[in-house]
Amino acid sequence: NLGMSALEQQAALVNALPYVDRGFDEAGVREAALGMVEEEMRRYRPTKNYLEHLPPLNLHQFETDILRAEFERLSSRQPPEHMSMKRYELPAPPTGRLTDVQSWRDSVDNSRAQLEHQSVRIENLQLLLAHGSDAWRCHNDTLVRMVAETERRLQATRKAVKEVNLQRKTEQVQAGERLHTLEDTWVHLVMKNYELEREIADLETAVSKAEAERPLPQTEKSTEPEAARVETAEATEAAEASDDNDELPPTPPARQSPVPTPPPPASEEPADD
């Protein structure tokens, strides 16, 4: 658990999308990536013990007494011991002990053991001749079944790996379409902002140029008093009005319409009697 937690802490987030990423085939991209890898390798300095986050390794877990003795012999640089072949020999008692009964008993026991060993070997050969072919055939059948099971597991593992790769490709392609759409939108907005900034800069330049070319307003003040200016303006207006009257023709007098004279009243005559 401690080792796994340490490994999880040191794990890096892989955000590469090999099925979606573009631009690797462009000129100079591969060389730039390899240059970055080489630079990282030159700057990388491994620690003295890069396995310190893992639990201590038990190097003596599978050792036996024979292996331990052999390791000690190798550490002390001693030559290996030769295999003893005395058990396969039938030596007679030494010359000085030819009359020793115990020496002859030891030789006889050794010969009996060798005879029994050879007898067992003969029995094994006979059993091998009788049943060896069937045993090997069964062993071969077992190996064939083991190979078939291993092949089945291998195919299942390859299928699982293929499904994982297919799922990863599908997810990356779906995410890549959205990423490309967002990237195109971002590029469009950036270009639009750039065009707006350029237009604003052009407008600011034009406004600054127009303000620089516009003449300054008259700021000189008249020295005449306000009343004199008013009188001068009234005199000017009166002169202009008189000039207008001189130029116009005289207005003819209005014609009066004759008033009709009423007729005289009729004289009353006396009625005839």
- 139-185 pLDDT tens trace: 999 999 999 999 999 999 999 999 999 998 898 888 888 988 999 99
Averaged pLDDT, 94-111: 86
Chain-wide mean pLDDT for the chain? 79
pLDDT value at residue 227? 56
The stretch 190-201 carries a mean pLDDT of 96
Most confident of the following: 22-31, 102-111, 158-167, 208-217: 158-167
pLDDT band at 198 (very low <50, low <70, confident <90, very high): very high
Quick check: 94 and 103 in contact, CB under 8 A? Answer: yes
What are the backbone dihedrals phi and psi of residue 218, each rounded to the nearest 5 degrees, phi first? -70, 125
Alpha carbons 215 and 112: distance in angstroms, whole number? 139
Q: In b/e form, how buried is each residue of 55-88, taking b as 16+ CB within 10 angstroms?
A: eeeeeeeeeeeeeeeeeeeeeeeeeeeeeeeeee
Residue 268 tokens read as 């009353």
Q: What are phi and psi of 14, to 5 degrees?
A: -95, 110
Choose between 203 and 61: higher pLDDT. 203
HSE-CB of 228 using CA atoms within 13 angstroms: 4
Q: Output DSSP code: residue 145.
A: H
CB-based contact 19:173 (threshold 8 Å): yes
Of 118 and 253, which is predicted with more confidence? Answer: 118
Please tell me the predicted confidence (pLDDT) of residue 3.
Answer: 45
Residue 133 has pLDDT above 80, yes or no: yes
Mean pLDDT, range 125-143, rounded to an integer: 93
Arithmetic mean of pLDDT, 210-220: 72
Place of tokens 């052999």: 70
Question: How far is residue 190 from each of residues 58, 183, 198, measured CA to CA in Å?
Answer: 61, 10, 12
Average pLDDT estimate for 63-76? 91
AA identity, residue 158: R
- Residue 180 in tokens: 């490309």
pLDDT of residue 1: 47
